[in-house]
Structure 1
Amino acid sequence: MSVGIVMLVHNDLHRAEQVIRHWNDAGCPVVVHVDKKVSRAVFDKFRNALANLEDVKFSRRHKCEWGAWGIVAASQSASELMLKSFDEVSHVYLASGSCMPLRPVKELIKYLAARPRTDFIESATTADVPWTVGGLDEERFTLYFPFKWRSQRRLFDRFVSLQRRFKIKRNIPAGIVPHMGSQWWCLTRQTLSAILQDPDRERYDRYFSKVWIPDESYFQTLVRLYGQNVESRSLTLSKFDFQGKPHIFYDDHLQLLRRSDCFVARKIWPDADRLYQTFLNDPAGAMKGAEPNPSKIDRIFAKAVERRTLGRKGLFMQGRFPDEYWANGLTSSQYSIFEGFTELFEDFEPWLARATNARVHGHLYAPEGAEFDGRGDTYAGAMSKSVQMRDYNARMFLTNLIWNTRGERQCFQFGPRDSQYISWDVAKDPNARISVISGAWAVPLFQSNKNFADIRAEAAELQKIEADHLYALRSPYAKARIRIWTMAEFIEAPMEALQGIIDEHGASSPSKLTEAPKMVDLTGFGQFLQNLKNQGMHPYLMGDFPVDRAPNQDRGKRRKPYLVK
């Protein structure tokens, strides 16, 4: 009893030669199929290099293209030659030139000898296959595919759409149920010969030659007709990414491959010298004795796919930028935005820094440039306060700020005078903590010495901008944690609102606030708003301010706020 190896080769023939010699040295006959696209001169050189090995034969060559019938035809021709030339072969193992044995070949022979009637081939119905990529599962068996998916993609897609539109369908041959699975199998002599000598083979071949990617369904379907004991799994470790492309194993995957306990792995990088040295030339380095269990490393591959598709929060990579749907969040950690606080309080920024130990910036999106903490020209990661550089990609300016300072809470001011490019972005960012005192932008206008006609025009414009921003914050798409007070509501109980803000930021001291930032003098602010109304502008975002005096402020001398316990 022995195991015969059918090897499909199309490139990196020097590595294929190395693996063929390894199989042959262990007593396994090998039948090689070389893709017809390989030049005659290269093929002859490859065949001559193996001419000294009696148990290595070359089958009739076929042109192999991805998703086409040629791969199945190559497997058939090589398998027929294997069964005809080597009577002692009891199992036939299909491999590629990029496959590598991970364990001593004697262990594979012993493993299969203990299971003389078992066929190892991944074989599941289309309803049970979750790994198909490209949207064609059942349709690959019922539609026509005269065009190549890779080189004639537009024609391929249009013809599929046309068949769907006119409900064109092929008939599946009677007596078979389409199954799918990995291309790499190991079948018993009885099962494989039954498939290749089936009286209806011509009918099956004619049908599957028009199926999309038949190498994943031909043997997987027909084995169900003849296999006495089908074990629906492959003995070859072969992993695919989210786009259906095979993972390539490199030298730094050595320990990962050892953990799989699989007999064979695909696809090995041809320049992975360490892998070839370890598994082919060093018997002590090969794995021994365990049941093949590729699921042991599935979690690692799943994590790798997640990292590749989503990346890390707040980190945009060249490979997936600028596709926003391939990003794992705009920012990497929580940050806070305060709107209207610096307008209402004279020393809000230093007070907040003392109360929370956070990094407190000014208006990062101010029209004059970014107001970094300390008002420097640059900040962490060589970020510039330049308006042109910031507004060229305003959302990435925020992303970079949070990423460059991860581990330190960032806070900054925002308002209707600022650039509004990030209005919707921060509203939809779960990491954002946004506190808004609506209408507070009117305080600097109230304190200014401008002509009232100019004040009225600017107030109308600022109110429109803030109204649009508040619409974004209140939309069903908003994911940020948002608090909004009208200015009138806020100054009725400022200590309560400030205490809530400090608690949210996890202040170093758990005690209640005993100090508040100094509020600007709002005496006459109500009359100012009434004057705007008299001029035909309706300032509604501030709330209800009485005309006679500033709400919640004594007419006499202001006292420092304190807390009664």
Structure 2
Amino acid sequence: MSVGYVMLVHTALDRATQVARHWAQSGCPVVIHADAKVPDAEFIPFRDSLKDLQNVIFAERRQRCEWGTWGIVGATIDAAAQMLEAYPDLGHVYLASGSCLPLRPVPELVAYLAERPRTDFIESVTIEDVRWSKGGFDHERFALRFPFSFKRKRFLFDHFVEFQRKLGVKRHLPEGLVPHLGSQWWCLSRRTLDAILNDPRRAEYDRFFRNVWIPDESYFQSLARLHSQRIESRSLTLSKFDHQGKPHTFYDDHLQLLRRSDCFVARKIWPRAERLYSSFLSNDPSVTKNAEPSPGKIDRLFAKASETRLQGRPGLYMQSRFPAQERDNARSAGPYSVFEGFDHLFENFESWLGKVTGCRVHGHLYSPGRVEFAAGEKVFNGGLSDSASLRDYNPCGFLTNLVWNTRGERQCLMFGPQDNQHPEGFMASDPNAQISVITGAWAIGLYRTNITSEVVRKEAARLQRIEQAHVEVLRSRWAKARIRIWNLAEFIEAPMDNLQEILDEISLHGPRRLTEVPRLADLSGFGRFLQQLKNDGMNLHMAGDFPAGHAPAPLNPQARPYLVR
């Protein structure tokens, strides 16, 4: 007989019964300590359900095991002492909880420990080397006293700590003791555990650790250093913690992950994980690996999970995880393109763009009247409505929902000074955004109204102020989108080259020379229109220097050769 199990149980007693029975029927003795908080109405049936097993005994004294207090250590000491007395031929004692689950056949663990009879498996690290605490105490956990419960008497706990800090209280460590920290779940050799429990100075050590913060993470970890011949500073139990120091819970969909770890035991298992319990509570020799426990194999996945927990997934906004706006990955879920002024300069630009690029091309998603989804749809992916009032409740959220719900398909949208300008900062700071702007192109729409009046001049002045402020946002130092800006006069000097540059970046088919061009709007007389606005006292400078008699020639895709490198 080489290993016995000490189980600390406080909840999910039906699962603890299954695991204890599995270990006992595999030839390993089990001592169970049930938390004093477990009512007799639950404890007595639990105890009676294991009466048929001669190698399962219950701790004679039940202690109240409250997180962060001495009770957990006291219960462990009592159960371990009872184990050593009842089974003098044990080689190792394995500490587990009621939520632990064996991952490998018991005979495999027995053989593993038999090959290492004098080795103690306990995580034990000095506080100078590793910061285990998560927003808690480091040296102070040993220097101060913690007589009050952190959870039940938080007011007294906090104020007593602050009181000791003001007084400069500093407890003295027992002579020769170097504090160490580590996981509560260990597997100690009989020799080391017996030496700890029968140490002549144990009463002194117990008095000291009774007022230590979370003593179950330091009592055995520190005393093992005084008595062990060989310590492997690691646990044979797989236990993972999040950034707040709370243990991860394993569910049914973690089955393959747990198998990859090669650890002998895992905690903390969800009580309703039926698939895990049915899969692992077996001594089937066909699953024997004889591999060294290696929780590091899955550390990368847990690190990624912690990062996702802290930062969220790019572009995913939800009630349970609303990412901070200042983080780059908290903008959108994928690349998208914004075109400003193109639908004024070119006829049927949306249809042409969709045909050439293979992307989904929308109209003005932020127009005042309604959301102009592609193909005139009233409801889009994810249940997005074309209602402007619903969109304007959270304009940035509307865009991120649109991109999230169409992942894998690039979205293109039109934008301009007539639209709701609220999301401009969001788009400018989004690395996924590609924004192409032809300033002053909105004036073509005013020109087509054939109205030369005070109303047009005031509207032109209003739109120019909006666009000028918008361009300042796009040119700010914190803008991270891929941004191109031309004024109208600059763009029409080489429209094909400018279009080619944009489309090479977004086309699903890769860079290729344009063979089909959009139809340029008729700009005959547009220069005179701009001049008339100037004559009326309004200088439309955002359009650039557009001569009064200028009329651009139709586009010709063969006009200039285009080289793809």
What TM-score range do you get, normalising by the shorter chain? 0.7 to 0.9
Aligned to 1:92: 93
Aligned to 2:534: 530
Partners of 1:479 and 1:100 lie apart in 2 by 48
Check whether the contact 2:347–2:518 (CA below 8 A) recurs between aligned residues: no
Report the AA paired with residue 212 of structure 1: W
Partners of 2:225 and 2:79 lie apart in 1 by 21
Check whether the contact 2:312–2:322 (CA below 8 A) recurs between aligned residues: no
Aligned to 1:476: 477
Is it true that 1:510 corresponds to 2:516 in the alignment?
A: no
Partners of 2:163 and 2:457 lie apart in 1 by 62
Partners of 1:317 and 1:563 lie apart in 2 by 50
Residues 156-175 of structure 1 aligned to structure 2 (within 5 Å): 170-175=171-176
Check whether the contact 1:416–1:462 (CA below 8 A) recurs between aligned residues: yes
Residue 364 of structure 1: CA displacement? 0.8
Residue 377 of structure 1: CA displacement? 2.5
Check whether the contact 1:258–1:287 (CA below 8 A) recurs between aligned residues: no
When the two structures are superposed, what TM-score results if normalisation uses the length of structure 2?
0.87
Q: Which segment drifts farther, 316-325 or 353-362?
A: 316-325
Aligned to 1:50: 50
When the two structures are superposed, what TM-score results if normalisation uses the length of structure 1?
0.87
- SS of the equivalent of 1:412 reads strand
Is it true that 1:314 corresponds to 2:315 in the alignment?
A: yes
Q: Which segment drifts farther, 153-162 or 70-79?
A: 153-162
- SS of the equivalent of 1:246 reads coil
Partners of 1:130 and 1:444 lie apart in 2 by 64
Structure 1 residues not aligned, in runs of 5+: none
Aligned to 2:437: 436
Q: Deviations over 1:141-170 (max 9, x none)?
A: 445545544445577567667777887655
- SS of the equivalent of 2:376 reads coil
Q: Deviations over 1:84-107 (max 9, x none)?
A: 333222322111112223333333
Q: RMSD across aligned C-alpha pairs, in angstroms?
A: 3.2
Q: Deviations over 1:462-498 (max 9, x none)?
A: 2332233223322333221111122333233323222
Aligned to 1:39: 39
Partners of 1:110 and 1:228 lie apart in 2 by 20
Report the AA paired with residue 95 of structure 2: L
- SS of the equivalent of 1:291 reads coil
- SS of the equivalent of 2:238 reads strand
Q: Which segment drifts farther, 537-546 or 8-17?
A: 537-546
Is it true that 1:393 corresponds to 2:394 in the alignment?
A: yes
Residue 450 of structure 1: CA displacement? 5.3
Pair 1:127–1:481, CA change in 2 (3 A): farther
Pair 1:399–1:188, CA change in 2 (3 A): same
Q: Which segment drifts farther, 438-447 or 163-172?
A: 163-172
Check whether the contact 1:121–1:232 (CA below 8 A) recurs between aligned residues: yes
Q: Deviations over 1:435-455 (max 9, x none)?
A: 012233333334445574333
Q: How many residues align?
A: 556
Aligned to 1:22: 22
Check whether the contact 1:487–1:543 (CA below 8 A) recurs between aligned residues: yes
Q: Deviations over 1:363-403 (max 9, x none)?
A: 11000111122223233344321111211222232223223
Partners of 2:280 and 2:171 lie apart in 1 by 46
- Identity, in percent, stands at 56
Residues 99-138 of structure 1 aligned to structure 2 (within 5 Å): 99-129=100-130, 132-134=133-135, 136-138=137-139
Aligned to 2:76: 75
Partners of 1:393 and 1:449 lie apart in 2 by 36
Pair 1:251–1:510, CA change in 2 (3 A): closer
Is it true that 1:236 corresponds to 2:237 in the alignment?
A: yes
Report the AA paired with residue 386 of structure 1: S
Check whether the contact 1:378–1:385 (CA below 8 A) recurs between aligned residues: yes
Residue 512 of structure 1: CA displacement? 4.8
Partners of 2:156 and 2:474 lie apart in 1 by 46
Report the AA paired with residue 210 of structure 1: N
Q: Deviations over 1:99-158 (max 9, x none)?
A: 223333333223222212111001122344366433544443445545544445577567
- SS of the equivalent of 2:338 reads strand
Partners of 2:199 and 2:10 lie apart in 1 by 29
Residue 311 of structure 1: CA displacement? 5.4
Partners of 1:456 and 1:437 lie apart in 2 by 20
Residues 349-368 of structure 1 aligned to structure 2 (within 5 Å): 349-368=350-369
Partners of 1:50 and 1:505 lie apart in 2 by 67
Q: Which segment drifts farther, 385-394 or 79-88?
A: 79-88
- SS of the equivalent of 1:257 reads helix
Aligned to 1:498: 499
Check whether the contact 1:149–1:156 (CA below 8 A) recurs between aligned residues: yes
